[in-house]
Structure 1
Amino acid sequence: MHHGERHKAARVVANMLAQIHRLTDAPPLPILRHAIFLASPSVRIKSHKKSAKSLMVPMPLNDRQRTFFAVKWLLAASKSRNDRKLEDRLAKEIIRIIEGESDVLKKKMEVHKLAVANRSNAAVKPGR
């Protein structure tokens, strides 16, 4: 929802679920939940300055944060599609996530690779 337009957001979500149902002939809500689960990262990278260096520190995410990042990345990936309506772009991007060929999954893997590469920086406590 942007700028408090709740009615518009509800209409887009309802039309997106209908479009997913038309494309897959399956219940759309489990498909949406599974796509968000597949797209959600378990860590994020936070920049932490120590003296003159800028260290990348992996930080774990709780379930709500994971869902937030998954939806945020899903919306960003759907903007790059060339369909006219937002609900069509979202539905097709969700199906691509389920099929395993979405840019959202690539972004998630990049974040996880960066977190594994910077595991040694995890001993540094941010904010101290």
Structure 2
Amino acid sequence: MVTCSDDLTIKVWETDSLHAQSGDGFAPWKHLCTISGYHDRTIFSVHWSRDGVIASGAADDAVRLFVENDDGQLDGPMYKLLSKKEKAHEMDVNSIQWSPTEKPLLASASDDGTIKIWQCASTS
């Protein structure tokens, strides 16, 4: 699971699905890593693609893409910036969503009253 916050961070979490299946249906979530320093205003929306790319949209009018960084992971996953689009919109980016059927397509919605569809060159 991936979450975002007005503290300018994106957090990646995991749970033990075997525990959830065998017990009461609930398993505790474990914090894996924090992505920070990429947005300078509240992050309103994040979405994880089927290919493992995390997209974020924030009040800084920007859209960012992150991928897992496989270089020397000691304490769990780390993520690096894959791509950024400064001024993706004229105002806050309130929602970001990968297409469920078309892999390279990403939608963003903004306070500027627009929805933009982005075709990503590569998501891996």
Higher strand share: 2
Greater relative contact order (CA < 8 Å, ≥ 6 in sequence)? 1
The TM-score with structure 1 as length reference comes to 0.25
Which one has a larger percent helix, Structure 1 or Structure 2?
A: 1
The higher radius of gyration belongs to: 1
Give TM-score, length-normalised by structure 2.
0.25
